[in-house]
Structure 1
Amino acid sequence: MTSDTDGKPPRTFTDPDTLRALAHPLRLRLLETLAEHGPATATELAERVGESPSNCSWHLRQLGKHGFVASGTPSGRGRQRPWRLVPRRIQLDEVTDFELARATDAANDALLNRHLAARADWQARRRLEPEHWRDLGFTSQSIFWLTADEAAALKRDLEELVERYFKLTVDRYDNPEARPEGSRPVRFVAWSAPGPEPTASRTDTQEGGDA
């Protein structure tokens, strides 16, 4: 298991309610908007996501209750204190507890739906992008024959790669001024899905049958 920028491991979950707080389309949009634009008030976020300030404020409080965002910076004006993302990688492990497993699946589905929507958006506009960005969106699809140990090594390699780039960019979430000129948010999604246990190989002909 890899660690994040403050020495803590990626955040895992033991409380179904925390995962349920994450598995909500508007809350995911709010988190992504904070990651893209930096700290913002509920009113500013409402304008960006097309919702009412009161609705955004309620959902932000739920996200704050479970540690996904934090409220207030010294530059906050009166009661309009900005919300900021708490940049911490999350890890949705397989679990045996039934309620936690259901909440994990729901969170995974909600996140995956956001990622697939973003990929479809990229596919629709990629040919209109400057050439130096156009070829940087990619899809890599492979099927490997691996042992459990080899699959575990692949997982570790990807986690180390993701951690390296997370450490490189973590201060850019809250501080747009730290973002290099010309940089963009780049979404990276990877998963592995082991296939079923292979059956014993069989010949194309049955004993005593025709060739």
Structure 2
Amino acid sequence: MAHPVRLKLVNELVLGGAATATELAERVGESPANCSWHLRQLAKWGYIEEAEGGVGRNRPWRWVPVGNRWGSAGDSPELLRVGAELNALVLSQELALREAWDEQRLAEPEPWRHAGFTVQNIAWLTAEELAEIETAIVAMTVNKYGERFGDPAQRPEGSRPVRLVAWAHPAR
């Protein structure tokens, strides 16, 4: 997962639905052969799978909705380092997308122009309370709206993909 092309491919599958390596190559600016190789690697680890309706090289792939967490307590030092690198890569991409939102915000329709937000706060919490917050965020996003990924009929009129990024860590 810790490769910029793989992150782009997964993002395209999440937002655009099932697609072939050739279709994805056009969207992410890579060759179909390179995309095909990265798609097979993603499938090997269960992040994506072949979608129905493919024949030969014209095989569509689809995202497998799973939560991702890298570098959890109890992992080896190597896995913790890899998790930290992947988190840094994901956050840098998300921050770039957030900056792009600021640049194009005024071109958005009025209801969307003010819908995006940034929240920054500091709270005195126990480890258990912080875990409760994570559970609540997952419940509010993935659990409540997760069916909309696989079934476009579940998406309300006027809805669009919204990026939600949250992180929490003890302050120094």
TM-score (norm 2): 0.90
Q: Which of 130, 134, 141 is the aligned partner of 2:109?
A: 130
What is residue 147 of structure 2 aligned with on the other side?
171
Task: Name the CA distance, whole Å, in 2 between partners of 1:71 and 1:54.
Answer: 16
Report the AA paired with residue 32 of structure 1.
N
Match of 1:159 in 2: 135
The alignment status of 1:140 with 2:119, answered yes or no, reads yes
| Native 8 Å contact 2:18 2:61 kept in 1 | yes
Query: Where do 1:83-94 residues align within 5 Å?
Result: 83-92=61-70, 93-94=72-73
Structure 1 residue runs of 4+, over 4 Å off? none
Map 1:65-80 to 2 at 5 A: 65-73=44-52, 75-80=53-58
CA distance in 1, matches of 2:131, 2:100: 28
Distance 1:94 1:110, change over 3 A: farther
Contact 1:38 1:175 in 2 (8 A): no
Q: How many residues end up aligned between the 2 structures?
A: 171
Equivalent position SS for 2:62: strand
Contact 1:172 1:178 in 2 (8 A): yes
Q: Structure 1 residue aligned with 2:157, among 163, 181, 190? A: 181
The residue aligned with 1:6 is none
Note the C-alpha offset of 1:175: 3.6
Which of 7, 18, 21 is 1:42 aligned to?
21
Q: How much has 1:179 moved relative to structure 2?
A: 2.5
Describe the SS at the equivalent of 2:49.
strand
Instruction: Report matched runs for 1:23-34 at 5 Å.
Output: 23-34=2-13
RMSD between aligned residues:
1.8
Amino acid paired to 2:164: F
Matches for 1:111-126 after TM superposition, within 5 Å:
111-126=90-105
Partner residue of 2:60?
82
Counterpart check, 1:102 vs 2:81: yes
Unaligned residue ranges in structure 1 (runs of 5+): 1-21, 197-211
Partners in 2 of 1:127 and 1:163 — Cα distance?
31
AA matched with 2:119:
S
Structure number with the bigger relative contact order (C-alpha 8 A, sep ≥ 6) is: 1
The answer as to whether partners of 2:18 and 2:51 remain within 8 angstroms in 1 is no
Larger proportion of helix? 2
Structure 1 residues 143 and 157, CA, compared in 2 at 3 Å: closer, same or farther?
Answer: closer
Deviates more, 1:122-131 or 1:177-186: 177-186
State the match for 1:15 in structure 2. Answer: none
- Structure (1 or 2) with the larger CA radius of gyration: 1
